[in-house]
C-alpha cells in the first residue's frame, strides 16, 4: 500500500520590511525668450505675398492639368455613361473609366462629330473588360461629339460631349 503524507508549507511574510528612502534632488532651469527683429506688419505682408503666389501657381497647374472623367456604368449598375452629357475645353483630356467590370467601349458616331474628324482615331472599339480600365482621348476640334457603347447602345448607353 502507498502512504500519503502531508507537509506543511510556510510562506514568509514581508510585513516588517521597509524600503530605502529615495533622495530628492532639485533641478533649476532658466529659459530666455528672444523676440524676432522683424515687425509684425512686414511678416504679414510676406505671408500675404506667399499666399497669393501659391494660389496663382495652383490655379495655373490646375488649368493645364484639367481632365474630365466619365464612368462607363453608373455606381448603381445602370448601363449609362456618367455623366452622359458634358463640356470640355479644346485640348482637355477625357478619361473613360470602366466602373463595374462589364465589357464597354467608346465609339464616336461618324455622322455626329464635327466635319473632318476621323472617328477611328478617337474611338476605343476594343472592349474595356475590367473594372478600373481606362481610355483617354483628347478632342481639339470645337463642336459636339456623340458617342455610344456598342454592346449597350440599345439599352441607352449613349453620350455627348461639347468641345469649346
- For a pLDDT cut of 90, what percent of the chain falls above it? 56
Q: Is 157 annotated as a binding residue?
A: yes
> Which is it for the CA torsion 127, 79, 108, 161, positive or negative?
negative
- For a pLDDT cut of 70, what percent of the chain falls above it? 60
Q: Mind listing the pLDDT tens digit for each residue in 10-56? A: 555 555 555 555 555 565 556 565 555 555 555 555 555 555 455 54
Catalytic amino acids? 104, 149, 152, 157
> What is residue 100's predicted lDDT score, i.e. its pLDDT?
86
Question: What's the rounded mean pLDDT across residues 128-137?
Answer: 96
User: 132 to each of 73, 89, 101, 108, how far by Cα in Å?
Assistant: 11, 25, 8, 21
Q: What is the pTM of this model?
A: 0.60
Mean pLDDT for the chain?
79
Q: Mind listing the pLDDT tens digit for each residue in 86-99? A: 999 999 999 999 99
CATH superfamily of 68-163: Cupredoxins -  blue copper proteins (2.60.40.420)
Q: Is 1 annotated as a binding residue?
A: no
Q: Is 152 annotated as a binding residue?
A: yes
> What is residue 33's predicted lDDT score, i.e. its pLDDT?
58
Q: Domain ranges in the chain?
A: 68-163
Pick 142 or 43 by higher pLDDT: 142
The 3-state DSSP class for residue 15 equals coil
Amino acid at each position: 500500500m502507498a502512504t500519503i503524507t502531508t507537509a506543511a508549507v510556510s510562506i514568509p511574510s514581508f510585513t516588517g520590511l521597509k524600503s530605502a528612502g529615495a533622495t530628492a534632488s532639485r533641478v533649476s532651469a532658466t529659459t530666455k525668450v528672444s523676440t524676432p527683429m522683424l515687425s509684425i506688419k512686414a511678416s504679414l505682408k510676406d505671408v500675404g505675398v506667399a499666399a497669393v503666389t501659391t494660389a496663382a501657381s495652383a490655379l495655373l497647374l490646375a488649368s493645364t492639368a484639367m481632365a474630365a472623367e466619365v464612368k462607363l456604368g453608373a455606381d448603381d449598375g445602370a448601363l449609362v455613361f456618367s455623366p452622359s452629357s458634358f463640356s470640355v475645353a479644346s485640348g482637355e483630356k477625357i478619361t473613360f473609366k470602366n466602373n463595374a467590370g462589364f465589357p464597354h467601349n467608346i465609339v464616336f458616331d461618324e455622322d455626329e462629330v464635327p466635319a473632318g474628324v476621323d472617328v477611328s482615331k478617337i474611338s476605343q472599339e476594343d472592349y474595356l473588360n475590367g473594372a478600373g480600365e481606362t481610355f483617354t482621348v483628347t478632342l481639339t476640334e470645337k463642336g459636339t461629339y456623340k458617342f455610344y457603347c456598342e454592346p449597350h447602345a440599345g439599352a441607352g448607353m449613349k453620350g455627348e460631349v461639347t468641345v469649346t
